Structure 1
């Protein structure tokens, strides 16, 4: 799967919730997420722009691999994810084979759906408010059209600046 994602800093959640409602977006779920990111013993993920994490939410636990970004405007990249039963066991396995914990990112995320977009308002511990808009594509689909549609939706929501290609982990590292 290819994930086409664009993130932007926003002024306030309340203002953005009103704008999302105005365009017809539907609130779908709210969840707390804890992401434990790992560094590889073989590859420097900071240099290759990859990520490996264990995400724990209210109801689920996932291992996610995110490949290097494939364009200069967004966070478009290959993503592979699978459900697991225990974050602690996954962490133990990773550490036993040489991976080390790099950072934990915690956030409250309010999801919205609009057409084929997944929109999230992200309250990340230690950061200002952010909004992400993404579309998931099958491998081989043209991501540039999806990317254009994401930027059109941002513009429709009144956001034309504040876009960010770095991950929340990277933003927190800069503080």
Structure 2
């Protein structure tokens, strides 16, 4: 995974929007973002490592989704736009890319800057509950992703606004990164 600050130029969300300013692992950790690269191998040992991470973080369920024009049909454009709205979740978001590539953009709280995380197959990303973020495919327009869940599979996005700024999960998140 490669992380960098996004440029502020308008244009297709699937383009790199690379400012040229890299973001360190330490900075990502300071805002609660964790990542691993667990290469996909033919023997399937990557599954054991992903499940180890899931167990460490108390995740009991997972599913696999495909985001592409072929997989989503007429819903494709609507889904892509909804993923790109700035939002937060009340649970951690854990994603492991099995195929393809895409971007998770995370909001750096102190500066309100976007940090773009370009992920490809083998990358595992953990976003803390309460962090503002969004997702976009890149120019390849396809990704197959394992989503991990603490309980039953669910995905509830709370789009950014006054209600999310006042959400207890958001407040706890901000306190956790300001204290560090």
Same fold (TM over 0.5): no
TM range (shorter): 0.3 to 0.5
* TM-score when normalising by structure 2: 0.32
